[in-house]
Amino acid sequence: MKILHIACLVSALWLTGCATVGSPQGDNAPTTSSKAPATPPAAPQAPHTPVFPSGPLQPIALAQATNGEVASLSAPTDLWDRIRRGFAMPDLQHELVPDREQWYASRPDYMQRMTERSSKYLFHIVEELERRGMPTELALLPYIESAFNPQAVSVAKAAGMWQFMPATGTYFDLKQNAFRDDRRDVLASTRAALDYLQKLYNMFGDWHLALAAYNWGEGSVGRAIARNQKAGLGTSYTELNMPAETRMYVPKLQAVKNIVANPEAFKTELPLIENHPYFQTVDITHDIDVSLVASLAGIREEDFRALNPSFNRPVIFAAGTPQILLPWDNAKVFQRNLEARREGQYASWTVWTVPSNMSVAEAAQRAGMSEADLRSVNSIPPRMLIKAGSALMVPRSTTTRQDVSSHLADNGQLAFTPEVVTRRTTVRAGKGETVASIARRYKLTAANVADWNDVRANAAFKVGQQVVVYLPVRPARASSAASRPSVGSKRPAAPPARKGGTPSKVKRR
């Protein structure tokens, strides 16, 4: 074996010598005859200096494993595992946390329903959080806000999974009109919620305070911090004086985080949520009925609305909502069936802008539909007139091809005014009274007075003649006795005024 090694070494040296001697100019000759520039000699490498830890080795926290310092050697097994790896908020140490852990752990049916409902939306939320570099604990926030119900509405009128108040939703460009409410939209509301949470974190520099502000309002948290600073007190989440709901808010999130981190410790079983998208976006180019979308996609209408909960009406206007969400496997089915559809219209409904104040009965007659159907499709309450400029959903004629404009799809509103209740009354005409003078006296139109009495609009009445008019019924003035309904009255008592006018729900966003 030694002889073989020596032979190989001699052969290598001989070949090297041949290569050198084969050069026509030798090693010291200039290389002017070569067209290629000479390769500069490689710089000498600095000797490698190993770095040793100064103290004993410490285990790596989950937060360190997600910040780019440490690469994971295995992919997440499911979405829960992926969420755990992204935990980056400091744990809240508070006596309310074990209390909320016990509350959730003792309600396995509630936890099961809530987590199963979240399976449609969690992947998208986690993707957005990771893209922004935000803690994945925030993906659990809708459990606290709405139990992941996109149709949830609080007593303070906060709506959607992320529970946006109307004004805050408008600030973050969540459209709220007669046809859709983007506070319930999965993509739009998630974008707005994460924008808001980032804004609050940048404002307070602390996730617990940012969450308190999300629930209570940034102004309220700012004032609470200022009061503590003035009194020489601490300004952390646990040290601020805040309402009970906000005091419980972060402990609730911490409790859910602890259960997700270690469900076995709480004897809880989380449903499997696979680590891949549940839905995908699909472009639409025409106004289209919700029922037709569900039919072409091969899904139930309620399943479609679970992914697209912002739509208030039975039709989707492409100019306002050019994309819809469909389950991953059904998106291609919908596109294939839509392309194969060659006849028939896509939308059965369009929008009519009401030219003047009118009754529901009159509007229904003009739209060519029953009053009950008009009320139902437009959610018109009883005893209301439709105000001029309102955008009403009405049947689309079979010859109409024009889709609803983007301005109307984004800004159409329905407004109402109380219907005036009138009573038939007869009055006696004075000397020289005419239809016009009676109309002026009672603030009516001459056309109505003439119509009610079957005379011309320029007719005159005889002295003492009875004239029929319909006058508004004036409600009796409230008195201390009248304000209390008598026994057997169907009129409900007015609710007592709340001191200070503060709503029972803390939401002030």
Cβ-contact 224, 237 below 8 angstroms: no
| CB of 126 closer than 8 Å to CB of 88 | no
**Residues annotated as catalytic (active site), given as ranges:** 145
Report the C-alpha gap between 86 and 39 in whole angstroms: 48
Contacts of 16 (CB under 8 A, 6+ apart): none
Residue found by looking up tokens 């979405």 in the block: 79
Q: How far apart are CA 166 and CA 175, in angstroms?
A: 9
d(CA 179, CA 411): 9
Q: Which two tokens stand for residue 34?
A: 């070569």
Identify the residue whose tokens are 């009925």: 289
10 Å Cβ neighbour count for 507? 20
Residue whose tokens read 């710089």: 43
Q: Rounded to an integer, what distance in angstroms lies between the CA atom of residue 378 and that of residue 48?
A: 75
Q: What is the DSSP letter of 460?
A: B
Integer angstrom CA distances of residue 491 from 145, 477, 480, 482, 488: 35, 15, 15, 11, 9
